Amino acid sequence: MTADRDLLVAAVREAGAIARRGFEGVSKSWEKSKGNPVTETDLAVDAFLRDRLCSARTDYGWLSEESADNTQRLTKARVFVVDPIDGTLAFIKRKPEFTICAAVVEAGEPVAAAIYNPMTEEMFAAARGAGATLNAVAIRVSARAQLEGCRMLVAQDVIKHSAWPQPWPAMEIGKRASIAYRMALVANGTYDAMMALSTKCEWDSASGTLIVQEAGGFATTHAGAVLPYNQPVPHHRSLICAGPRLHAAILERTGAIRLP
């Protein structure tokens, strides 16, 4: 597992140079679908990572936001799950909140992962059973148990929605464009939790799931279900991650809700 982690770390760090050039220069952008932007840099990073990773592990499958899906990945023992630029809108707006994410999935679970913010030089990494790190220093989730006053990465309109049976307590609400970055910031204790109640793709969360888990936290759906990976349809309905006690407190509020 650690060999795959080290491969991912080296590859996303190299890809960071491509991302920085696009961030600091000119990178054409367009919409793949309404509200779903992509840039030349997304595609360049995707192509680089596919060549770099698949040439090193020729028997692994491939799943990426910017590559056409190939169901052959379902037959592979291990699969790379990649988001070349997670937080493309932030990248376009020149906000240093995007990340490059890569994971290796085996038997439905991430076993190696790297999340890299090339503008802040934050490298989060993990291997199954080997712990999680930020720039090679071990990290842990926070031990917070109470929602009131916690640091939560979540959209304000989610917390303030009128459909909640009871209002959420006062919390310090934060925002980051990249889902993976949000998960990594929970893993290292900068934030106590993150919550997303809209559908997320596997490439958004595969690397973050392992990093949170290896930092002592939980990553599940809003109902507490585990997040399977390398599915035929690579989507999850929702995403919550936090330390064990705060995760339980969040599920007390979200576990019974029905999402549209």
pLDDT per position as a tens digit, 53-64: 999 999 999 999
C-alpha 191/C-alpha 193 separation (Å) is 6
Q: Among 67-71, 83-87, 125-129, 130-134, which is the least confidently predicted range?
A: 67-71
**Do residues 185 and 215 share a domain?**
yes
181 domain-assigned: yes
Domain boundary among 117, 138, 159: 138
Q: Is residue 187 part of a domain?
A: yes
pLDDT of amino acid 60: 98
In the predicted model, what is the mean pLDDT of residues 90-117?
Answer: 97
Question: What is the 8-class DSSP label of residue 59?
Answer: T
Do 23 and 79 reside in the same domain of the chain? yes
Question: What per-residue confidence (pLDDT) applies to 25?
Answer: 92
Which residues does residue 246 pair with via DSSP β-bridges, in sequence order? none
How far apart CA 130 and CA 197 sit, in angstroms, is 30
**Residue 97: C-alpha distances to residues 135, 177, 182 (Å):** 17, 6, 9
- Which percentage of the chain shows pLDDT scores above 90? 93
Where among 115, 138, 161 does a domain terminate? 138
* Position 259 in a domain: no
pLDDT of residue 26: 87
pLDDT in the model for residue 247:
98
Q: How many helices (H) and strands (E) does the chain have?
A: 7, 16
Check: CB of residue 63 under 8 Å from CB of residue 234.
Answer: yes
The model's confidence at residue 256, banded by pLDDT at 50, 70 and 90, is: confident
Q: Are 241 and 218 in contact (CB under 8 A)?
A: yes
Q: For residue 211, what are the domain limits?
A: 151-254
Q: Count the alpha carbons within 13 Å of 213 in the hemisphere toward its beta carbon.
A: 20
Give the residue-averaged pLDDT of 7-30.
Answer: 96
Give the total number of structural domains in the chain. Answer: 2
Q: Does the structure show a pLDDT above 90 at 148?
A: yes
Judge contact between 69 and 189, C-beta under 8 A: no
Q: What is the mean pLDDT of residues 225-240?
A: 97
Last residue of a domain, one of 138, 164, 189: 138
Please tell me whether residues 182 and 205 are part of one structural domain: yes
Examine the domain organization and report whether 9 and 128 are in the same domain.
Answer: yes
- Which spans in 93-176 are helix H? 156-159
User: Positive or negative CA dihedral for 56, 58, 61, 65?
Assistant: positive
Alpha carbon distance 117, 185 (integer Å): 11
pLDDT of residue 35: 85
For position 191, what pLDDT does the model report? 98
> Tell me: the pLDDT tens digits for 166-219?
899 999 999 999 999 999 999 999 999 999 999 999 999 999 999 999 999 999
Say yes or no: 98 and 15 in one domain: yes
Mean pLDDT of 131-158: 97
For residue 222, give the DSSP letter.
T
Residue 1's pLDDT is 86
Predicted local confidence at residue 258, as pLDDT? 84
Same domain for 130 and 220, yes or no, is no
Could you give the 3-state DSSP secondary structure of residue 215?
coil
What's the rounded Cα separation, in Å, for the pair 173 and 59? 43
H-state helical runs in the chain: 2-24, 40-56, 88-92, 156-159, 179-187, 202-214, 244-254
Summarize the confidence of residues 47-53 as an average pLDDT: 98
Count how many residues are written for the chain.
Answer: 260
Q: Are 49 and 56 in contact (CB under 8 A)?
A: no
Q: Of the given ranges (2-16, 118-132, 150-164), which has the lowest mean pLDDT?
A: 150-164
